[in-house]
Amino acid sequence: MAVQSRRLSRRVAIASLTAVLAGGAATGAAWGTTAAAHASSGLRTCTVSDLYLSMGRKEGAAGSVYWPIQFTNTSTTRCALRGYPGVSVLDPAHRQIGPAATRTTESYSSVTLAPAHSVSAVIRTTNGPIGGPCLATGTYLRIYAPASRTPVLVPAHWTICSHTFQVGPVTTGGTI
């Protein structure tokens, strides 16, 4: 279990930023497909070696804090992700703080990632101790991409509050 430390190449970083700025405008091969299309196309599942994981911009709303985990395809071929990532908070010694994130009940489908494109899954907690205490602030998130048993450590300061820690599925819209 290594800390994600490789940098995106300039080409991948520019393509990823372009894709994010384009929002949902990019469709087809770059973004989502249905599960049936995924199965019939024989498209392979993205592996950890295909992906660069990073954190998007943290936002707050209605007493909650939301933070997208971004999955960027750094390979030269398309691959697919489907479902929820596994996420837990770690201290500097890589010990888990509190329980792993629970899954939302949001429906999901397979998403196809073209090279240099990104999708995201959003994590959520409360914005302070509302109905429960806050745990110690972690320094890493341990993230398992959907269908993966290989974790990636992403440097990220995250505090679980009020016994609330949720993760949404991987989507092109990044909602929870």
Determine the average pLDDT of the residues in 52-76: 96
Distances (CA, A) of 135 to 3, 54, 76, 141, 176: 22, 23, 41, 14, 22
Residue 154 lies in a domain: yes
Residue 174 lies in a domain: no
Domain count, the chain: 1
In the prediction, which pLDDT does 173 show?
76
* Helix (H/G/I), strand (E/B), else coil: 87: strand
**What gap in Å lies between CA 110 and CA 87, rounded to an integer?**
19
Residue 25 lies in a domain: yes
Residue 3 lies in a domain: no
Whether the Cβ atoms of residue 119 and residue 113 lie closer than 8 Å to each other: yes
Residue 5 lies in a domain: no
* Helix (H/G/I), strand (E/B), else coil: 170: coil
Residue-range definition of the domain harbouring residue 120: 10-167
| Residue 1: pLDDT band with limits 50, 70, 90 | low
How big is the CA angle at 28 (ends 6 and 82), to the nearest 5 degrees?
60
Residue 173 lies in a domain: no
What is the pTM for the complete model shown? 0.78
In the prediction, which pLDDT does 176 show?
56
| Residue 4: pLDDT band with limits 50, 70, 90 | low
For residue 48, which amino acid is it? V
Judge whether residue 42 has pLDDT over 80: no
* Helix (H/G/I), strand (E/B), else coil: 45: strand
In the prediction, which pLDDT does 129 show?
87
Q: Name the strand (E) or helix (H) holding 5.
A: none
Q: Look at 36 and 130; give whichever has higher pLDDT.
A: 130
In the prediction, which pLDDT does 69 show?
98
Residue 172 lies in a domain: no
Residue 2 lies in a domain: no
In the prediction, which pLDDT does 117 show?
97
| Residue 141: pLDDT band with limits 50, 70, 90 | very high
The sign one gets for the Cα dihedral 63, 121, 82, 108 is: positive
Q: What is the 3-state secondary structure (H, E, C) of 112-163?
A: EECCCCEEEEEEEEECCCCCCCECCCEEEEEEECCCCCCEEEEEEEECCECC
Instruction: List pLDDT tens digits, range 79-137.
Output: 999 999 999 999 999 999 999 999 999 999 999 999 999 999 999 999 988 888 999 99
Instruction: List pLDDT tens digits, range 145-156.
Output: 999 999 999 999
| Residue 171: pLDDT band with limits 50, 70, 90 | very high
**Overall size of the chain counted in residues:** 176
Ramachandran angles phi, psi of 129, nearest 5° = -75, 90
| Residue 3: pLDDT band with limits 50, 70, 90 | low
In the prediction, which pLDDT does 130 show?
87
Whether the Cβ atoms of residue 112 and residue 145 lie closer than 8 Å to each other: no
